[in-house]
Amino acid sequence: MTRRTDLGTASPVVQAGDATSVLDPRGKAAALYEARRTRRPIPPFTDAEPHLTLADGYAVQRELVPMLLADGDAVVGYKVGLTSLAMQRLIGVDSPDFGPVLASTRYGDGETVSLGRFIAPKIEAEITFVMGERLQGAGVTVDQARRAVSGAAASMEIVDSRIEDWRIRLADTVADLASNGAMVIADEFVDVAGLDPRLTGMVLSRNGEVVDTGAGAAALGDPLGVVAWLAGVLGERGLALEPGHLVMTGALHAAVPLAAGDVFLAEFARLGSVGVTVTE
C-alpha cells in the first residue's frame, strides 16, 4: 500500500532571470508525463538538443510538476541527486541536482513495490531527514540545517528513468525529476542530537546477502550539508524547505538493479533498518 501524505504543493521553479534555451519545455514535460503514465521511455532530449543546460532541465521540470499535481498528487519533500563525486564525474557536473518527492511514491518499511510501476529501476540506500523548521536562503550553514531538522531516518530510493536506457545527460535527468522513482522510508525518525551523519555506516543486503556498504560522508561529505545546499538553491527560486518536508540526501553506494522476488534491507548505524520486497 502506498502512503499518500499532503505536506504541501510547492514545485521547483526557474527564476525569470535564469537563462534557458530549451525549445518547447511544456511539450517535453508532456512527453515525460506520458512516459511515466505508459512506462514507455523516450529518447534523451539532449540527442536532438545537445546544448541543453541545467536551467533548461529545470524549465522542463517546472512544467512537469503541475501536470502530476493535477492528478491529485502532492509534494512531500525533495530528493537531491548527484551528491557523490563518482556520480558527478560520470555525468560531468560539479554540483548536485534536485527534484520533488511525490506522495504517491512514498512507501513504508516492509511494504511491497511492484516492478510494473517502473521502467528501469535501481535501488539506493540513503539518509532522509524530516524538517522541523522552515529553512531557506543563500549561505545556510550545516549548523543551521541541523537546528532546522527534527529527525533522520533510514531510507532507500528507487531511481528510475523515463529516458531510454538511462542515456541521460544533466538536462535529461533534471527534467525527469532527477530520475526519482519512489522512496522507502523507516517508520521512525531518530533525533539528530549527538548524531554525526557523516559517520553513519550502512549495509545493504539483497535476499540476505550483502551487496554494498557505505557511509553518510558519501553524500556531499555530509548529509546535513546536502540539506543546507538544497535550502540555498530553493531560496534562489523563491521556495523553502517547510516543516514536515522530507529531504533525501543522496546515495551512499552504487545503484543496484531490481528484480522480482528481491528483498532488500538497508541497515544503518543509529538509524535502524528499512526493507522492501519487489514483485512483478
Answering whether pTM is above 0.75, one says yes
Least confident of 12-26, 47-61, 202-216, 247-261: 12-26
In this structure, which topology does domain 25-279 adopt according to CATH? Fumarylacetoacetate hydrolase; domain 2 (3.90.850)
Q: Is the dihedral of CA 258, 64, 55, 80 positive or negative?
A: negative
pLDDT of 9 strictly over 50: no
Which pLDDT belongs to residue 8?
32
Which pLDDT belongs to residue 17?
35
The residue-averaged pLDDT of 90-99 equals: 82
The residue-averaged pLDDT of 134-148 equals: 95
pLDDT of 2 strictly over 80: no
Reported as a pLDDT band with limits 50, 70 and 90, residue 166 is very high
Reported as a pLDDT band with limits 50, 70 and 90, residue 3 is very low
Reported as a pLDDT band with limits 50, 70 and 90, residue 19 is low
User: What CA dihedral angle connects 237, 242, 246 and 249, to 10 degrees?
Assistant: 50
pLDDT of 93 strictly over 90: no
